[in-house]
Structure 1
Amino acid sequence: MSSNSGWSFATALRRDNLQMVGKLVVVAALMFGFAYALVPLYRAVCTALGINVLSLSERNHAVRAEDVKNTQVDRSRSISIEFDANARGPWDFKPAVRHLEVHPGELTTVMYEFKNVQNRTMSAQAIPSYAPKQATPHFNKLECFCFNEYTLAPGESKQWPVVFVIDPKLPKDVKTITLSYTFFEVAGKKAAQAPVKALPGAGA
């Protein structure tokens, strides 16, 4: 093979490689742009359909008062429940109590306090998380402010309830559960009022 042929082959190979790299860069940019555009598109579709996706899974796992009445309280066990609150923004958000001892099957109510310390109206949403993870399907809520988005006026304060019961089927090795909420601002919506109602057998 002549030197000219070798040079031509190397040049063609280099050109093909550059073209391939260019195509990959374009594909990566398109994928990034598509993923970025999905966020507002997803929220817009859900808003149009009246679906609060952030709370949908929580709603699906909510229990009824009738189901709790038929649940036997296991007084031979006590579960330590830790309450945590995180605010993604300049506002005050905290639980009224930080710790409770509860029996599996026992109906319990805990209040969370929120204050909009800004000089503007804002809408916010709370998203819960649980630790350890295996406790998640056993932490059943009857009422929770995390089911909805809420709008608060400047300086407005609210107290919202979390009414829950720990499933007696919770694994025996789980002694402590941490319920953590993260409160963050979302696109403004019409104000919703969190229902605060006394349920039979509920206690702080």
Structure 2
Amino acid sequence: MGLRQENLKIVGKLCVIALGMFAFGYALVPIYRHICEALGINVLAVSETRIPGAAQLPANTQVDRSRTITVEFDTNVRGPWNFKPAVRSLQVHPGELTTVLYEFQNIQNRTMAAQAIPSYAPKQAAAFFNKLECFCFTQYTLAPGEKKEWPVAFVIDPRLSKDVTTITLSYTFFEVGGKTPPAPDAAALAPDAKAQQGGA
């Protein structure tokens, strides 16, 4: 009987310790939040307390809402495939993160490898057009009839000259293994040139 009582005492102590550890771990989260909010050292803890609809997150101060830039999306197809942006143009503010999808389909009856090269008009906009995600300069292999959608996420640097109100982002998609075509220059991206290409 003495051994059994000792075992029961040990089990009881272990249960109390386990419950205490659980309670301590459970209490750590609100304690951590209160400490971080009081000291202002954790932005994540502050943002987690915001409930959708109750209070809006503070606006991104890096976005210049006083300016609007038209971004046009152009494609140059050099081969038997379909390649186009999901939208032809967007209105964006400098500093604003924007994402646009490009659609591609290999309409050949054979597997192909291809990639894209970008160009910009006006040319000075290239240094201020920051792509955070892009399919350009990466080779892709597509099976016959295979369709793909690729995102391009970008931010236009607010330091871009205020004289620039329209930027054309153009992609030339070509098959790997063939002759790499030159990127179209600014003249080729002019509205008249694009109209002629559309009418051809």
- TM-score w.r.t. the length of structure 1 is 0.57
In the other structure, the counterpart of 1:105 is 95
Q: Partner of 2:127: helix, strand, or coil?
A: helix
**1:162 is matched with which residue: 135, 152, 156?**
152
Q: Percent identity?
A: 80
SS across alignment from 1:137: helix
- Superposed CA RMSD in Å reads 1.7
Counterpart position of 2:77 = 87
Return the offset for 1:71.
7.0
**Matched residue, 2:126:** 136
| Residue identity opposite 2:83 in structure 1 | F
Question: What does residue 152 of structure 1 align with?
Answer: 142
Residue 32 of structure 1 corresponds to none
Q: Deviations over 1:111-159 (max 9, x none)?
A: 0000000000000010000000110100000000104110000000000
Q: Kindly provide the amino acid, as one letter, of the partner of residue 89 in structure 1.
A: G
CA distance in 2, matches of 1:136, 1:146: 14
Runs (5+) with no aligned partner, structure 2: 1-59, 179-200
CA distance in 2, matches of 1:71, 1:109: 19
Instruction: From the superposition, tell whether residues 71 and 124 of structure 1 become closer, same or farther in structure 2 (CA, over 3 Å).
Output: farther
Offset at residue 86 of structure 1 (A): 1.1
2:177 paired with 1:187? yes
Select which of 73, 97, 112 maps to 1:122: 112
Q: Secondary structure at the match of 2:124?
A: helix
Equivalent-residue separation in structure 2 for 1:147 and 1:75 (angstroms): 32
Describe the SS at the equivalent of 1:145.
Answer: coil
Q: 1:80-119 CA deviation, whole Å, 9 max, x = no partner?
A: 0000011100000000000100000000000000000000
Q: 2:68 maps to what in 1? A: 78
Number of aligned residue pairs: give it.
120
Q: 1:171-198 CA distances to partner (integer Å, 9 max, x unpaired)?
A: 010000000000000039xxxxxxxxxx
1:22-41 residue pairs with structure 2 within 5 A?
none
* 1:72 shift after superposition: 0.2
Give the secondary-structure state (helix, strand or coil) at the position aligned to 1:146. Answer: coil
Runs of 4+ in 1 over 2 A off after TM superposition: none
Equivalent-residue separation in structure 1 for 2:126 and 2:75 (angstroms): 17
CA distance in 1 between partners of 2:117 and 2:90 (Å): 21
Structure 1, unaligned runs of 5 or more = 1-69, 189-204
